[in-house]
Amino acid sequence: MPRTLQYINRFLYNVGMINVSETAASKINELLAEENKAGSGLRVFVQGGGCSGFQYGLMIEENGQGSGDQVFESHGVKLFIDPISIRYLAGAEVDFVDTITGGGFTIKNPNATSTCGCGQSFSVD
């Protein structure tokens, strides 16, 4: 990719950077250490499905940056986002919530116009 295009892509995507809360970063690093995968990152993606049309996905990314991926770093955690998902996730934050009924990762997404009760499914206009 030409240097100018790389600069433009980096500028455009950094405006809509994806973040990880400190709580989520701590939990992600803990999970990576437990799995002996320190140095790996987290792949955050969107796929069709769920009650509202789209659903979030999270998985440990051991293979590094794929073709077309945007890579962000937040609180020491590398995030890998594919070019389709970045359209829906720009400005989002990965968080970890611990409640009486259990804990889990959640995504705070300013692009979602509605979500379903499970919190894992969303729609956009």
pLDDT digits (tens, 9 = 90+) for 30-44: 999 999 998 899 999
> pTM for the whole thing?
0.77
Q: Does domain 3-123 have CATH number 2.60.300.12?
A: yes
What is d(CA 123, CA 7) in angstroms, rounded to the nearest whole number?
A: 31
Neighbouring-strand partners of residue 48: 54
Residues 6+ apart with CB under 8 A from 39: 32
pLDDT for the residue numbered 8: 45
What is d(CA 69, CA 41) in angstroms, rounded to the nearest whole number?
A: 13
